[in-house]
Structure 1
Amino acid sequence: MRNLEFKEKMHEYSIWRANLVQAIEMYQQWLTRYGMDDAHRTNTLLNILSSLKNDRITLAFVAEFSRGKTELINAMFFAESGVRLLPSSPGRTTMSPTEIFYDAEGGSYIRLLNIESRLEDMSLAEFKNIPERWTQLELNCDSPTQMQNAFKELIATKKVDRELADRLGLWNEREAATQGVMNPDTVEIPCWRHALISFPHPLLKEGLSIIDTPGLNALGTEPELTLNMLPSAQAIIFLLAADTGVTKSDLEIWMNHINRARSAKKQGLAVVMNKIDAMWDDLGGSNDYDRSIKSQIKASATILKIDEESIFPVSAKQALLAKIKSDKELLAKSRISALENYLSNDILRDKRNIMASIVMRDIGSLINESVNTANTALSHASEQLEEFRKVDFHNQDMTGKLMAETRDRQSLYMANVENFQSSRRVFIVQAKMLINSLAEERINEVIYAAKHDISKSLTTIGMKQNIRKLFDDLRDLLQDSVDITNETRRLVKAIHKKFKDEYGFKEIEPILFDIKKYQLELEEVFEEGEAFRTSAKVTMTEQGIVVDKLYSTLVAKAKVILGRAHDDAISWSNGALSPLARQIKDHKKQIEGRLQMLRKINESKGTVAENIAHLEAELVPLKRQREELAIMIKSMQLEGQLAESS
């Protein structure tokens, strides 16, 4: 499949997302127009709109040095520039992890974070919020040559004292010894820790984001890549070299970084066997060439324990040259089409399904409730019309009886309100307990107490025991929240059941706080923490560096997860009883509308036919309201999912 088709698929996804945003914005306006908006609904819709508008499809390219990773990125996405845009000459290329995307507000630039920032107790995510800490180079998008020259800064290196290189995690004595380097005074290291590149390439403008990681050393010394950036990528493309197969360092990346990032899933993962052109033998011919490639794929699949179909043989060098020269024969020889086909279909399809399920999860209940409200309002109005058609409004006794019945309903409504307020007060107390159980102060108390104990440990064994205690304490803290969550969920169910059974409210499946997803995420962190705690590297590394790495990666990630759980609990508690409150409000509106209509008819001097015609006219806006909602749901392309969830 040609890159053009990937661009077309990406464009289709971008249009789908834009249409979804437009439909949700129309739904938000619909709620406002018919007086159904409230703080909870507005906040929910604004959050999902922000998520959609900032959505990116992230592809992470991971490989050891000299596997042709950057050349593959050039071939797949930037060949139309006519040059090798990103530096990918033989030998060491990109020296710092690089993110490529489009920043509409910031424009075209390269931002570079100095390597010495590793010594600071801040994560990459925190540094990204401080633009002044980055060195910025402007890009001239009308000049591929200027961009090409600017990108050369990505491979910049400098020499520093060996002691500084060691503190930065960029000196490995054992590795240096194998290369014949013994006790050097200075060590060559990358100038930059991380690079952010923004320019208005069509694919980047439509939401594509690329992560280029420079080998095992970067993955080992920047755990944030493995812990945060790789797991969040839509797909990981892992490169091997066809002439070497799976080397020891390839296998280390695979076992310690790729497998962990993908967990048990194999979705969103492609293994690329690059440089197949190196296996060509003029004497052996095409049959021997094909057999050699198949043999290497089989061997690599066995070592990595994956299906052979998951490995894509490619020549990035031939693909780039073929696209620049528009050489169809060479492009076919490069075999890049199968990989592009996988990205065009499987990855973009999966991304669309994931985004649709997120939208459904966040606003599906709101839309279902709106559908029920619109249907109920129209149904009640139609029933009332049929009832009034059968009533002799000239009979004062009959009219009085209808008025009395409606006032009885009004009295029952007031009792409902009083009981609802009482139930809500009980819920607020319980919800406050849930929110407080996840409060930042409580979490920080555990984290900073543990940091003191870990730092003061006199032995490596003691330090490792305190690290384990930290994660055990965090697990216990979350378990308290789980227990409170279960109590809160039972209370919400009981309140809904009470109003259904005792007051005849329409049955609504209550939205319950979901803490399980945070449990699963934290358990992954705890597993990573155990691997970190028991690793030989921790034993060999200076204690202060271990503590810094632990707190800037694993602990920071745990805090983020617990912080999201806290914010989610607040947001959920604000809207948990909203459907009931809206039912009460709608019930009040119906009663008042009925009383008003009876008074009008009773006081009217017109004929019965005229009064009935007036009632029929009142059905028109209710029908329009429902029709508008149906159109918006169709625009969202959520009809099937909504039907399944209702």
Structure 2
Amino acid sequence: MRNLEFKEKMHEYSQWRANLVQAIEMYQQWLVRYGMDDAHRTNTLLNILSSLKNDRITLAFVAEFSRGKTELINAMFFAESGVRLLPSSPGRTTMSPTEIFYDAEGGSYIRLLNIESRLEDMSLAEFKTMPERWTKFELNPNSPTQMQAVFKELIATKKVNKELADKLGLWNEREAATQGSINPDSVEIPCWRHALISFPHPLLKEGLSIIDTPGLNALGTEPELTLNMLPSAQAIVFMLAADTGVTKSDLEIWLNHINRARSAKKQGLAVVMNKIDAMWDDLGGNTDYDRAIKSQIKASATILKIDEESIFPLSAKQALLAKIKGDAELLKRSRISGLEGYLANDILREKRNIMAATVMRDIGGLVNESINLTSTALTHATEQLEEFRKVDFHNQDMTGKLMAETRDRQSVYMANVENFQSSRRVFIVQAKMLIDSFSDEKINDVISVARHDITKSLTTVGMKQNIRKLFDDLRDMLQDSSDITNETRRLVKAIHKKFKDEYGFKEIEPKLFDIKKYQIELEQVFEEGEIFRTSTKVTMTEQHIVVDKLYSTLILKARNILKQAHDDAIAWSNSALSPLARQIKDHKKQIEGRLQMLRKINESKGTVAENIAALEAEVAPLKRQRDELAIMVKSMQLENQVGESG
């Protein structure tokens, strides 16, 4: 399978996403056109649209130094430049984590964050919002030679005294001693901490994003990379070298960085066994060559505890050469097509399914409600038309009786409104208790105490106790919120049941707030932190900079989870009773419409047939409204996932 197919699959996904955006925008306009929009619906749809428009498919390439990772990126995505675009020659590999994407507004550039920024108490995410802190180089996409020259900055190093290197977490006397290193006066370190590259490659324009992570040293000293960026990727490509198999440092990366990131988000994983060209043996023939590759795959799969089918043997170097030269036979021999096929099919299909499920979760309730309201309105209008066709409107007593019945319905409606307002007042009080249970003030109090205690205690035991205490306190906070959530859920169910049983409203399964997912996410953060803290790199060095970055990252992740819970609780409380409110509003509209029709017929000097024709004309727009919605539901490809439109 050629890279062209990956491009085609990526384009298909991009086109599907664009069509979905168009359908949702049409639905938004439909709601406005028929007076069914409100603040909650508008906000929900705008959030979905923003998520779709900014969506990226991220592939993270992870490996120890000299595994050919950057060469594989060159072979898969930049071979058409005709040169080795990213520096990947022996001894000349990228030194800092690099993100490659397309920034339509910013153009083509490379931005580099200096290594000394690690001494500041700010996350990479925060630095990304501060362009003035980055060194920027413009790129000329039409000049591969110019870009090659600029990209050499990715491998730039400098020498600093060992005290500064130690502070930066890039050298440690104890670790050096265990490796038999000579105690130097100066240490060579990377010039840059992180790189951002915007480049107008067709795949990047379609929404692909690439993360290149350089070795165990970067992974072991940048917790944010391991705990945030890798878990957010759709797929991780983990690389081994065919001539070495799984080394000690490979296994360290696998156990402490890859396994956790993969299990947390359940995203795809491909293990690449690169440099199979080192095993090419023209004298031994293909049989011995294939046997050697299979043996290495089997041994690696056993160590990593994965299926052999998850390992893709290839030669990135030969694949790049084959693509640049247009050598089909060499490309086939490089075996890169297996990996490209996996990414083109499995990963993109999985991403599309995840995105469709997310859209369905967020928009399905709104669409179902629109279908129900539209269907109910049409059914009511049709039934009323049939009823009026059978009525003798020349009989004044009959017309008066119908008007009296309708006014009685109006009185019942007013009682409905009064009861609803009373129920809503009770709900608002309960919902406020839920929202306040994880307010910013409460979270800040817990975190500030923990940060103070962690800063004072930098021993392994002390750190472990303090971080455990922090998460115990956060767990207790969520448990209190959970108790309030259960009370709030019971109240919402009771209100819906009351209006169904007492007033005959259509049964709607209320959307209930669920705090369990935030509790699970919080536990995952704690477990990730424990695995990172006990990794060989951190245990061996116990460097202040690494420990500080670790707990800053954990605290930021925990805070974001609780903030999301807080925001979701607010959004839910604003929308929990909206379906009932809209049913009441629609009921009012139906009653007023019926009274208006009866007055019109009673006061009309026309024939009964003319009045019936006028009523038929009232039904036509409702049919059009229903049919338009059905078309949009089909365009969103939700027709098999939402309720029947009737």
TM-score range for the pair, normalised by the shorter chain length: over 0.9
- Would you say the 8 A contact 1:454–1:547 is kept in 2? no
Deviation track 1:427-474 (CA, whole Å, cap 9, x = no partner) reads: 111111111111111101001111222333486533432222111111
- The residue that corresponds to 2:584 in the other structure is 584
Q: 1:541 to 1:181 in 2, by over 3 A?
A: closer
- Matches of 2:27 and 2:66 in 1, distance apart? 51
Whole-Å Cα distance in 2 between the matches of residues 581 and 318 of structure 1? 65
* Alignment-derived partner of residue 159 in structure 1: 159
User: Does the 8 Å contact 1:467/1:533 carry over to 2?
Assistant: no
Q: Distance in 1 between matches of 2:211 and 2:459?
A: 39
1:567 corresponds to which residue? 567
Secondary structure of the residue that 1:112 maps to in structure 2? strand
Query: Structure 1's 138 and 495: CA in aligned 2 closer, same or farther, altered over 3 A?
Result: same
8 Å CA contact 1:455, 1:544 repeated in 2: no
Change (3 A) 1:240 1:644: farther
Over the aligned positions, Cα root-mean-square deviation in angstroms equals: 1.7
Identity of aligned residues (%): 88
Matches of residues 494-643 of structure 1 in structure 2 within 5 Å?
494-532=494-532, 544-545=544-545, 548-643=548-643
Distance 2:295 2:532 in 1: 36
Q: Deviation of residue 356 (structure 1)?
A: 0.2
The one-letter code sitting in structure 1 at the alignment partner of 2:382 is S
Counterpart check, 1:252 vs 2:252:
yes
TM-score scaled by structure 2?
0.97
User: How far apart in 2 are the matches of 1:602 and 1:645?
Assistant: 34
- Are residues 89 and 567 of structure 1, via their aligned partners in 2, closer, same or farther at CA, if it must alter by over 3 Å? same
Output the CA distance in 1 between the equivalents of 2:325 and 2:359. 43
Contact 2:94 2:155 in 1 (8 A): yes
Partner of 2:353: 353
Are the counterparts in 2 of residues 451 and 547 from structure 1 also a CA contact under 8 Å? no
Q: 1:471 to 1:266 in 2, by over 3 A?
A: closer
Q: What is the correspondence of 1:403-414 to structure 2 with a 5 Å cutoff? A: 403-414=403-414
Q: Which deviates further from its counterpart, 528-537 or 161-170?
A: 528-537
Deviation at 1:283, TM superposition (A): 1.5
CA 297–139 in structure 1, closer or farther in 2 if over 3 Å, else same: same
Aligned residue for 2:641, secondary structure, equals helix
Question: What does residue 289 of structure 1 align with?
Answer: 289
User: 1:332: Cα distance to partner?
Assistant: 0.4
Matched with 2:446 is 446
Alignment of 1:366 with 2:366, yes or no, is yes
1:138 counterpart = 2:146:
no
Name 2:100's counterpart in structure 1.
Answer: 100
The residue type equivalent to 1:205 in the other structure is K
Whether 1:243 aligns to 2:240 is no
Structure 1: gaps (5+ residues): none
Aligned length: 646
The one-character-per-residue Cα deviations of 1:52-97 (angstroms, maximum 9, x if unpaired) are 0000000000000000000000111111111111111012401000
Distance (whole Å) between structure 2 residues aligned to residue 631 and residue 138 of structure 1: 46
AA paired with 1:365? Answer: G
Change (3 A) 1:425 1:55: same
Between the aligned partners of 2:555 and 2:171, the Cα distance in structure 1 is 25
Judge which range, 360-369 or 456-465, deviates more: 456-465
Q: Supply the distance in 1 between the matched residues of 2:42 and 2:283 (Cα, whole angstroms).
A: 70
> Post-superposition, which runs of at least 4 consecutive aligned residues in structure 1 deviate over 4 A?
177-180, 264-267, 532-544, 643-646
Tell me the secondary structure at the aligned position of residue 141 of structure 1: coil
Please state how far the C-alpha of 1:548 moved relative to its aligned partner.
Answer: 2.0
Structure 1 window deviating more from structure 2 (524-533 vs 397-406): it is: 524-533
1:6-405 equivalences under 5 Å are: 6-173=6-173, 175-177=175-177, 180-263=180-263, 267-405=267-405
Work out the CA distance in 2 between the residues paired with 1:535 and 1:161: 26
Q: Distance in 1 between matches of 2:417 and 2:457?
A: 59
1:169 to partner: Cα distance: 0.6
The amino acid across from 1:343 in the alignment is: L
Q: Report the Cα distance in structure 2 between the residues aligned to 1:106 and 1:233, rounded to whole angstroms.
A: 23
8 Å CA contact 2:101, 2:210 repeated in 1 = yes
**1:429–1:266 Cα change, 3 Å:** closer
Deviation at 1:229, TM superposition (A): 0.6
State whether residues 107 and 198 of structure 1, in contact with CA within 8 Å, keep that contact through their aligned partners in structure 2.
Answer: yes
Aligned partner of 1:401: which letter? K
The Cα of 1:100 is off from its aligned counterpart by 0.3
- DSSP-derived class of the 2:358 partner: helix
Question: CA-to-partner distance for each residue in 1:161-207, whole Å, 9 max, x for gaps?
Answer: 10111111100335544665321111000011100000111100100
1:584 alignment partner AA: I
Distance in 2, matches of 1:534 and 1:258, equals 15
Corresponding residue for residue 467 of structure 1: 467
Q: Is the 8 A contact 2:174 2:540 kept in 1?
A: no
Q: Give the SS at the match of 1:640.
A: coil
Amino acid in structure 2 at the alignment position of 1:197: I
Q: Is this contact kept in 2: 1:56–1:207, CA < 8 A?
A: yes
In the superposition, relative to structure 1, how do residues 460 and 308 fare at CA in structure 2: closer, same or farther (>3 Å)? closer
Change (3 A) 1:264 1:84: same
Q: Tell whether the 8 Å contact from 1:74 to 1:86 is kept in structure 2 after alignment.
A: yes
Task: Return 287-296 or 461-470, whichever deviates more.
Answer: 461-470
User: Within 1, Cα distance between the matches of 2:322 and 2:333?
Assistant: 9
Q: C-alpha deviations, 1:521-577, integer Å up to 9, x for none?
A: 111011123335556766665685365224321111111111111111111111111
SS of alignment partner, residue 614 of structure 1: helix
Q: TM-score, normalised by structure 1?
A: 0.97
Question: In structure 2, how many angstroms separate the alpha carbons of the residues matched to 1:117 and 1:356?
Answer: 39
Q: 1:339 to 1:380 in 2, by over 3 A?
A: same
> What residue number does 2:428 align with?
428
Q: Following the alignment from structure 1 to structure 2, what is the Cα–Cα distance between the partners of residues 581 and 340?
A: 51
Whole-angstrom CA distance in 2 between matches of 1:546 and 1:84: 34
Distance (whole Å) between structure 1 residues aligned to residue 267 and residue 573 of structure 2: 34
Q: Deviation per CA, 1:289-313, whole angstroms, max 9, x where unpaired?
A: 0000000000000000000000000
Equivalents in 2 of 1:10, 1:644: separation in Å? 32
Deviation at 1:107, TM superposition (A): 0.9
Give ranges in structure 2 of 5+ residues lacking alignment.
Answer: none
Structure 1 contact 97–211 (Cα < 8 Å) conserved: yes
Moved more, 454-463 or 24-33: 454-463
Q: Is the 8 A contact 1:455 1:543 kept in 2?
A: no
Q: Is the 8 A contact 1:455 1:547 kept in 2?
A: no
